[in-house]
Amino acid sequence: MINSGIYKILNTINGDFYIGSACHFRKRWENHLYELRKNKHHSIHLQRAWNKYGEQAFEFKILLYCDIENLLYYEQTLIDGLKPVYNTCRTAGNCLGRIFSDEAKLKMSNSHKGIYPSEETKLKRSKALKDRVFSEETKRKISEAKKGKPNGRLNTHHSEETKRKMSEAAKNRSA
């Protein structure tokens, strides 16, 4: 039996959908679920809808079965004909049709050049981490999660040089 073909991920609340192709339907759906649940799906439109409406609002539907050699042809035909809202790439099998903002292009360029994140971004991230305030409930949950787990530094000791450096760093912080 053929287990490859074209599928649709349908938002049952607003009718919007994503079109895709799969060599193995079950594996592909499980991959989508994993990415969506982790908030890391490649389609930002689908991810935002998933976050807004919840998992229960989506269905995975098989549209047609076909041989693997014909997947891209049929996927492209359906993308062109149905114009799915959640597909960020308009070309089946690649992202040639994807349009990036100027800001996104700059970030990608800097990343490839090895100059990202900027010092400004690093400072913002650092400040955000330092300014975090945990509720008592969150503190309790963190404490419960750590109970009974071994400390990674158990039975290890700092060298004299490390102790000296830590002492100097602590003195400088309080000054």
- pLDDT at 7 (0 to 100): 97
Grouping H, G, I as helix, E, B as strand and the rest as coil, residue 11 is strand
Q: What is the DSSP letter of 143?
A: H
- pLDDT at 158 (0 to 100): 85
CA distance 11 to 55: 9
Which residue from 14, 27, 81 is spatially nearest to 54, judged by alpha carbons? 14
CATH class as words, domain 5-82: alpha beta
- pLDDT at 5 (0 to 100): 94
List 19's β-bridge partners, or say none: 8
Identify whether the C-beta of residue 45 lies closer than 8 Å to the C-beta of residue 86. yes
- pLDDT tens, per residue, the chain with 175 residues: 789 999 999 999 999 999 999 999 999 999 999 999 999 999 999 999 999 999 999 999 999 999 999 999 999 999 999 999 999 888 887 665 567 788 888 877 877 777 767 788 888 888 888 888 888 988 888 888 878 776 666 677 888 998 899 888 888 775 5
- pLDDT at 14 (0 to 100): 96
CA distances from 107 to 2, 40, 102, 114, 126 (A): 42, 18, 9, 10, 19
What are the residue ranges spanned by the domains of the chain? Answer: 5-82, 100-143
